[in-house]
Structures are given as C-alpha cells and as structure tokens.
Amino acid sequence: MDLLVRGGIVVTTGGRAQVDVGIDKGRVVQMGGEMSASSEIDASGHFITPGGVDPHVHLTPPTRQADGWKWSDDFESGTRAALAGGITTVGNMSFPDRDETMADAIARDDAEADEFAIADYFLHPVLTHPSEENLASIATLHAEGHTSIKFFLSFPGFDRHVPEFLQAMRMVKQAGGIALIHCEDAAIIDCCCTLLREAGTLTPDYYAEARPLQAEVVSTYRAVGFCETTDCPIYVVHLASARALAACHDGRSRGVPVFVETRPMYLHLTRRRLEDEDGAKYAGAPPLREQSDVDAMWAALAFGNIDTLATDHAPWSLADKLDPALDATNLRQGVADLETSLPMLYSTGVLTGRISLEQFVAVTSTNPAKLFGLYPQKGTLSVGSDADLVIWDEQETRTIDGAAMHSRSDYSPYDGAEVTGWPMVTISRGEVVAEGRDVVGKPGRGCLIRRGPHRAI
Ligand SMILES: [Zn+2]
C-alpha cells in the first residue's frame, strides 16, 4: 500500500476507535489489522475525522472578475483555504452569466476548477432564469452527475416565475436530486429598503432591518410548502433564525423532505456586530440575528434539527466591504470562512461539550455527503471510501488573523478570536495536501466529483 496512518482515533458518526488506516491508490483499503506501506504517518493519540465536505461556496474564476464579480477567491486560493481548514471537498454555486445556460455555467466553472482547484469539487447549477432551455437541461445535468439546482426566493424576478420554478422542482424530484433554496422574501426586502430610504436611515447598522426576520420566515414556510407540493427534497441554505427553523421543523415533523444548513457566522456572532464602526464587514444574507437565535442554532445542531454546517464562503476585501458608496440596502454580502469553519466548530462546539465529535463529523462531512450524492465515496472513513482525512492537533491554539490566512480576503469576521483545535495533517485521496498552516497540494490536482442521487440522512 501507499500510505499507512498509524495510531489515530478514527471518528465517524457511528462512534470512535483507535484504528490504523491503510491507503492505496487514493482509497482506504484496510482499517485495522496487520499491514505495511511504503510510507507512514504517526497519528498516535490524535483524532482523525473524514475530510470536511462543504457544499456551499462561491469561488469566482479569474476570468469573471472583470464582469463585476469581485469575490476575492478563485478555485485555487479558495480550495487552499479549505484544505488548511480540514475541508477536502467543496460544492460551488455555478451562476450563469447573462445569456449563458446552466449547462454553460457548469462547463465553464468545471474548466476553471479543473485547472486550478487543489481540493475536489462538485458544482451546483444555479437556476436564475427558468427558461424552457434551462428546465429541459435539468435531467441531462443530473445524468451527468450534477444532482441539484439552486434558486433564490430573494431575487426580484422570482415571483414572476413561480410556476416555472415549481416545474423545475418537479423535474429535480424526477431526476433524483435536491433543490437548494435561498429563503428571503424579495418583496419584503424591497419594501423595507424603500422604508429605510424614505426615513433616511441608511447607515450599515440598519442592514438587519433592510432584510428583516419576517422575510426569512415567510420565505422558509413557502419553500417548505413548495417541497410538500412537489415532493422535491429541499435544502434550506444558511438558515439564521429560530423562527425559520420552526418552519422547517413543522415540515419535517410531517415527513416532508426538508434539510437545513446553517453557517458559522450564525453560531459565533450576533447582530450587535453590525453596530460596530466597521459593522459592514459582517454583512451576509440573511443578516446576523439575536443571541436567542444563536442559541437555537446550537441546540438544533445538538438535536439533529440542523443537518449541515457550510460556510457560504463568499470572500471580499475589507475595502470592498467598507466601501463608503454602499448603504444598508446594498452592502456586499458574504465573508471568508473556509479555513476557520471546522476549527471554530471544534473549539466552540466540541471542546465546550455543546456537540459531540461524532456530531461534528455528521454536520461537516457525512450529512452533506449523503444529501448531495457523494456518500460513501466522501463523508466517511471506511474501506472503499476516498482517503480524505484530517489528523487533528487538539491542543493547538491560534489567534485568528484573516490577513495571514489563505483566502485572498484580507480579514476574518473572527479576527482576534482564540481557537483551539486545528488540522495537523490534511490528506486528500491519499495525498498529504496540508501540513499545519502549509498547503502543499498543487493547483489542478482537485477532481470534479460526479454525484449520485440525493439520499436522505
Ligand atoms: Zn451562498
């Protein structure tokens, strides 16, 4: 065999055990028992988790930067940040440009990622315009291994095309996929922005009022209703509030196939941060909520009512975020989180006892792998799985400094936070790709993962 990882404590959702892991040609070929390999890593006393699967990132290929898309990471810098943070597979939102179809967007992003990605990746076709051509492509895209679509109830055009989006959901259901839905109501947001303009209250601390709680709540109930109507499994992205969670729970308690993602910001920050002098740097959609919502997110992670933690990694430079030309109605949304997501969940979740290490593995790897058709190739450590794994240094404490991390975003929303528990070695398909802070994997080594059908957790 190529590689033997000796002495570590392997953690899966089913439990943990000290077991040696034998790897050959990129896959796990033996767990436990006698074995020898051409190289060995001593992981004695350290936890080993399956590599993180982050199904929600925005990595802009360099060729699109000129079109006004100014997210600061492409597939190279973004996957470098991911690997340093223990994430070995990312799911990118592939947005069609004007006049492009979903299939065009997938082909373009795949070509970029094939050249630049260091980690493995999969692609979600984003349905911005439910044209006949796009609807007709859903079955083909699924057959080619792109077994999801994403759409936004927050886009101004959504309400003019609800029948077509419902038709798209029926087609996704038919093809065995899952629909990712951004749940914020476009008309409510539009009205709130008008009210803020009329009142002249446009400083960034009003951002949370431009996209208020009720916009998320009604939209989430609506998505659950769409799901119940079409029977298409849905995945509510970046859920932020206790009341939106209740909407999902309402559906789940009746057996409706609703799955829920939250994002690190909603576990670690509250809307008070928007009142800081540089509060605009915390803008995301939905906005940060109250402490009671943060508490609800943690409880839901612990009780299995939230299925995944994904970053929604959408990085900007600090100067772009704090651009004085922006106001509460149009702040740039998103932050860099790929390198910090897992260590912060470990530090503030596992070390504090809020969640178990097994639950950590479920929400950061196994559950997303199942929901998006990657399991058991990704999302677990068992014979036959890809050898994607993270050996942890549970004792290492670092102070977050976004400017010194791998994302090209030059700050982190958690700058100054002390975080204990970092990846010591990250392995992707049997290759050591990160050691400590150093990412040693080469651009272009990442592979497109063609996915199977969605499966429930
Ligand atoms: Zn997103």
d(CA 359, ligand 1 centre) in Å: 23
d(CA 292, ligand 1 centre) in Å: 23
**Same domain (yes/no): 274, 344:** yes
d(CA 108, ligand 1 centre) in Å: 19
d(CA 152, ligand 1 centre) in Å: 10
d(CA 150, ligand 1 centre) in Å: 10
**CA distances to 5, 7, 163 from 32, in Å:** 10, 10, 54
d(CA 18, ligand 1 centre) in Å: 37
d(CA 31, ligand 1 centre) in Å: 37
**Same domain (yes/no): 44, 71:** no
d(CA 38, ligand 1 centre) in Å: 42
Asked whether residue 319 is domain-assigned, the answer is yes
**Same domain (yes/no): 137, 258:** yes
**Same domain (yes/no): 7, 80:** no
Predicted local confidence at residue 90, as pLDDT: 98
Q: Model confidence over 253-302: pLDDT tens digits? A: 999 999 999 999 999 999 999 999 999 999 999 999 999 999 999 999 99
Contact 245, 260 (CB under 8 A): yes
**Same domain (yes/no): 254, 156:** yes
**CA distances to 64, 131, 174, 369, 381 from 134, in Å:** 21, 5, 16, 26, 37
d(CA 143, ligand 1 centre) in Å: 24
Predicted local confidence at residue 64, as pLDDT: 67
d(CA 180, ligand 1 centre) in Å: 10
d(CA 9, ligand 1 centre) in Å: 34
Total domains present in the chain: 2
Distance separating alpha carbons of residues 324 and 376, to the nearest angstrom: 47
d(CA 26, ligand 1 centre) in Å: 30
Asked whether residue 409 is domain-assigned, the answer is no
**Same domain (yes/no): 149, 26:** no
Distance separating alpha carbons of residues 2 and 114, to the nearest angstrom: 25
Distance separating alpha carbons of residues 230 and 1, to the nearest angstrom: 48
d(CA 313, ligand 1 centre) in Å: 7
d(CA 1, ligand 1 centre) in Å: 40
Predicted local confidence at residue 61, as pLDDT: 72
**Same domain (yes/no): 221, 125:** yes
d(CA 424, ligand 1 centre) in Å: 28
Predicted local confidence at residue 70, as pLDDT: 75
Query: Does pTM top 0.85 for this prediction?
Result: yes
d(CA 184, ligand 1 centre) in Å: 12
**Same domain (yes/no): 203, 274:** yes
Predicted local confidence at residue 65, as pLDDT: 62
d(CA 25, ligand 1 centre) in Å: 34
**Same domain (yes/no): 299, 333:** yes
Write 132-141 long-range contacts (CB < 8 A, 24+): 133/101, 134/101, 134/102, 134/168, 135/164, 135/167, 135/168, 135/171, 137/101, 137/102, 137/103, 138/102, 138/168, 138/171, 138/172, 138/175, 138/177, 139/171, 139/174, 139/175, 140/103, 141/102, 141/103, 141/106
Predicted local confidence at residue 372, as pLDDT: 98
Q: Which of the residues in the chain have pLDDT under 70?
A: 62-69
Domain of residue 29 covers: 3-48+386-397+420-437
d(CA 428, ligand 1 centre) in Å: 24
Asked whether residue 95 is domain-assigned, the answer is yes
Predicted local confidence at residue 191, as pLDDT: 98
Predicted local confidence at residue 11, as pLDDT: 98
Distance separating alpha carbons of residues 157 and 87, to the nearest angstrom: 34
Distance separating alpha carbons of residues 288 and 165, to the nearest angstrom: 28
d(CA 71, ligand 1 centre) in Å: 12
d(CA 285, ligand 1 centre) in Å: 8
d(CA 77, ligand 1 centre) in Å: 17
CATH of the domain at 367: 3.20.20.140
d(CA 181, ligand 1 centre) in Å: 10
Asked whether residue 190 is domain-assigned, the answer is yes
Q: Prior bond to 343 cis, omega within 30?
A: no
d(CA 46, ligand 1 centre) in Å: 33
**Same domain (yes/no): 166, 217:** yes
d(CA 370, ligand 1 centre) in Å: 20
Predicted local confidence at residue 68, as pLDDT: 58
Predicted local confidence at residue 58, as pLDDT: 96
Asked whether residue 342 is domain-assigned, the answer is yes
CATH of the domain at 29: 2.30.40.10
Torsion over CA of 151, 154, 156 and 157, rounded to 10 degrees?
A: 30
Asked whether residue 256 is domain-assigned, the answer is yes
**Same domain (yes/no): 319, 429:** no
d(CA 121, ligand 1 centre) in Å: 16
**Residues with Cβ within 8 Å of residue 293, at least 6 apart in sequence:** 240, 241, 242, 266, 270
Asked whether residue 450 is domain-assigned, the answer is no
**Same domain (yes/no): 146, 293:** yes
Tokens 């997210």 correspond to 71
Judged on CB neighbours under 10 Å (0-12, 13-18, 19+), 16 is middle
Tokens of 449: 């993962």
Asked whether residue 380 is domain-assigned, the answer is no
